[in-house]
Amino acid sequence: MKILVATQKPFAAVAVEGIKKILTEAGHSVDTLEKYAAQADFVNAVAPYDALIIRSDKVTDEVMAAAPNLKIVVRAGAGVDNVDLAAAKARGIVVMNTPGQNANAVAELCIAMMIYMSRGQFTPGTGSEIMGKKLGVQAFGNVGRLVGKKAEALGMQVMAVDPFIPAEKIAEMGAEPAADVKHLYESCDFVSVHIPATPETIKSIGYDLITSMPKGACLVNAARKEVIDEEGLEKALEERQDLKYITDLMPDNYEALKEKFGSRVFATPKKMGAQTSEANINAGLAAARQIADFFATGNTRFQVNR
């Protein structure tokens, strides 16, 4: 089979080597399309391929229509909001992710972001410590649970909420369960967001939740830009001069936010949560193994568009 690794934001070279090794040893051929400038370049490249390995690359119906042999797309990572799952299903294309494989990298970045904001973005002046502060983890999946564990080890109190995990289970996993999302925001000095972007969650975090946070609180978002209601965030930061926002997903209104709120807001220049060689290796190699297994045995364990 012909496999394309299409990564606008490339994997570390060592991960690409590993992907190629797994797939060529399984009898497949592998090409790469990295750092492509426009979506059209992706669309124009896919025609010969049976399988794609992607990251946040957008697999639209147009991409799939341009690849008549396409049988499987594996998102090396967790979120699949960049893939048109319904269109893939209609075309009989299997879509998988590689859950958990890049979670540690994202969790470490969340901890780093909390410390960075607590220490005034490493500029001179008196900062504060995260030890003793309360962290709210919004969604207790692979990343959220790791953030909770690491935060606890650093002396934070951890509260969590998850629409799919009952309170008893959250308590068993070592966090204080919040009654609901509102309770989490009201109770925590930091809230770290780990929800996917879905029709239900898009713009779900806005003025009301943000202004319900305690004095001096900081919202941390390494999940998705779309889950934030950016106008609501701007209004909340305007009204509450004590609140802060740090994110790995640059908001559309970042220029305005920076101008108005200066160091109370920070966004990484390019999404970097999963950008470690370890995470690239874990997620990239898992994707390659899943494709090799799919073609060898029909295994669809990680399919997300059934």
Footprint (CB under 6 A) of ligand 3PG, residues 12-51: none
Cβ-contact 281, 15 below 8 angstroms: yes
Closer of 77 and 206 to ligand 3PG (Cβ): 77
Site for ligand 3PG in 78-107 (CB under 6 A): 78-79, 102
Q: What is the DSSP string of 144-187?
A: HHHHHHHHHHTT-EEEEE-TTS-HHHHHHTTSEEPSSHHHHHHH
Our CB check for ligand 3PG shows the closer of 109 and 236 to be 109
Residues 6+ apart with CB under 8 A from 287: 19, 53, 74, 75, 76, 96, 98
> Distance between CA 196 and CA 203 in Å, rounded?
11
Residue 133 binds to ligand 3PG (criterion: CB under 6 A): no
Least Cβ distance, residue 179 to ligand 3PG (angstroms) = 28
Which residues 208-227 are close enough to bind ligand 3PG by CB under 6 A? none
CA-only gyration radius of the chain, Å: 20
Position among 77, 141, 206, 284 found at the interface with ligand 3PG (CB under 6 A): 77
Q: How many residues bind ligand 3PG (CB under 6 A)?
A: 11
User: Which residue, judged by CB position, is nearest to ligand 3PG in the bound state?
Assistant: 77
Which token pair is 282?
């874990």
x/- binding map, residues 265-294, to ligand 3PG, per CB under 6 A?
------x-xxx-------------------
Do residues 244 and 260 lie in contact, with contact meaning Cβ atoms separated by under 8 Å? Answer: no
CA distance 283 to 230: 30
Binding footprint of ligand 3PG on the chain (CB under 6 A)? 9, 55-56, 77-79, 102, 271, 273-275
